[in-house]
Structure formats: structure tokens, C-alpha cells
Amino acid sequence: MEAAMGLMRRIPPKHTETALSALLSLMPDNSSDLLSQVDQPLQVLCDVECGKEFILCEYNRDADSYRSPWSNKYHPPLEDGSLPSSELRKLEIEANDIFAIYRDQYYEGGISSVYMWEDDNEGFVACFLIKKDGSKTGQGRRGYLEEGAWDAIHVIEVGPEEEENTNYRLTSTVMLTLTTNNESSGTFSLFGSIRRQMSMKLSVADGHLCNMGRMIEEMESKLRNSLDQEYFGKTREMVCTLRPPFEVAQLRMPDSA
């Protein structure tokens, strides 16, 4: 299992589904662990009843159906699918409305979904998802990318209230895909994923949504900085070393005189 997880961490996100399918056929006894621990690129489905798209993931799946955060119904229909309690459902609806505003402000579009469910420790779990298609055929504003996707998964475990405080544990994963194919930049592909965790004990005076929102905002800032340094920074360094700008190359050439 450890070797399988190590392999999946090194697979480009666009090949995750194929690699996971192969591992499931090789390790059928570990299927539940693989499906719960391996993050796959997010897929989207339309809730016809509400006319809105929602994101599919392991956290809103029951059997082969997926629950919409808009209508609270499963697609395809599932009679005995698990649903959040009425109180948690109200919080889920509010979270989806607020997170859509956050998505538009930070991502200038895309699709977001929030799912919540009770856990076994008298608390609950919330999953915040964002998918942004940045390709020139999708929502890419500049039209540079042949293929581009940003998939963000934030899972927050909320513990039971202790006096006036609650423990929050956030696990965040971002999967990035970039591909260009034009005269100015040539053909270039960059794939990667990054995962980070954060735990905090916060007062519930401001409400769970405020606390979770601040944690996600802080985490996304850290993830963007890490991606910029680990992927773009290293790539820029390698490209400039192997193919330095013309002026730098001229300075490095020995004097022909």
C-alpha cells in the first residue's frame, strides 16, 4: 500500500484515473483505502432540476450516484442515499452560497461545491471543492493554454465544541495541469499536485463558516506560493540554465578575438 501511494504521488494528475484503475485491479483488497486516499482530478455533472453544475468526488458519492449540493438529490436517483441532518444541511447551503462568492473573487469563475456530513466523534466534516478550467477553450482569459486545470480539495474535520472552542483539522490538495502549444512559447507541459495539513483550535463565537473560510484562505495562499516556488521556480531555473537568453549566452561565449 505504501508503494502504491508513493507511485500515485508521482503520477501526473491527468493520468491518475488510469493508474488508479490499474492499481484497483492489482490490489482489490485495498480498493476502499485507495479510493479514499488517492485524490483524482475533479469531474463535473449538471443538476438538471436546478440548472447548476456541481463537482463529483468521493465525498458526495454513494454507490454509483452523486449528491448535488443544490437539490440535495442523487444523480442518478438513489432511494436510500445518505443525507446530512437538517441542521447540517442548512449550514451546507449557506457554505455553498458563500464559497461561490469566494470562488468568483479569487478565481474569476470556475465551479465550486461544498459537502458536509456527520462523523463518529459528535462533530462533522466539510469538503470544499473548486475546479477551474483555464484552457483557451474553457475559461482561460488570455488564451495561452492549450490545456489548463486547477483542482482544489479542502477537507475540514470539525471536532465537538469544548466550552467556547473547537478543533479544526484541514487537509488540502491542489492538482495543477498546464500545457501550451504555440509559436511564442512552444510546446510545454507542467503537471503536479501538492498536499498540506493545518490544525487550529478556534473560538466558535464567529461561527464555523468564518473559521473554516479563514483557514482555507490562508492555506490556499500557502499552496499557491509553494507551487510557484517548487514548480514554476524550478522550471524557470532549469529553462534559463539550459536555454539562457541571447544576451546572457553572448556574455558566456569566449572571446573569439
Residue 47, pLDDT score: 95
Q: Do residues 23 and 86 both lie within one domain?
A: no
**How much is the pLDDT for 143?**
57
Question: 2 and 109 share a domain?
Answer: no
Are residues 33 and 85 located together in one domain of the fold?
no
Per residue, the 3-state secondary structure of the chain, as one string, reads CHHHHHHHHHCCHHHHHHHHHHHHHHCHHHHHHHHHHCCCCCEEEEECCCCEEEEECHHHEECCEEECCCCCCEECCCCCCCCCCHHHHHHHHHHHHHHHHHHHHHHCCCEEEEEEEECCCCCEEEEEEEEEECCCCCCCCCCCCCEEEEEEEEEEEECCCECCEEEEEEEEEEEEEEEEEECCCEEEEEEEEEEEEEEEEEECCCCHHHHHHHHHHHHHHHHHHHHHHHHHHHHHHHHHHHCCCHHHHHHHCCCCC
For the chain, state the CA radius of gyration. 21
Asked if residue 136 and residue 11 are part of one domain, the reply reads no
User: How many domains does the chain fold into?
Assistant: 2
Residue 194 lies in a domain: yes
Residues 133 and 211 reside in one and the same domain: yes
Q: What is the pLDDT of residue 99?
A: 96
Examine the domain organization and report whether 94 and 30 are in the same domain. no
Task: Count CA atoms closer than 13 A to 144's CA, side-chain side.
Answer: 7
Q: Are residues 156 and 208 in the same domain?
A: yes
Task: Give me the pLDDT at residue 89, please.
Answer: 97
- Supply the range of the domain harboring residue 176: 81-242
What pLDDT does residue 151 have?
92
Q: Are residues 115 and 232 in the same domain?
A: yes
Residue 131 forms part of a structural domain = yes
* Domain co-membership, 212 together with 85: yes
What confidence score (pLDDT) does residue 257 get?
A: 44
Inside any domain, residue 155: yes
Regions in the chain scoring below 50 on pLDDT: 256-257
pLDDT of residue 251: 57
Residue 199's pLDDT is 96
Asked if the structure places residue 257 within a domain, the reply is no
119 and 173 both lie in a single domain:
yes
CATH number at residue 172: 3.90.1150.210
Question: What is residue 192's predicted lDDT score, i.e. its pLDDT?
Answer: 77
pTM, two decimal places? 0.81
Confidence (pLDDT) at 209: 95
Does 48 reside within a domain? no
User: Is 12 found in the same domain as 103?
Assistant: no
Are residues 26 and 102 located together in one domain of the fold?
no
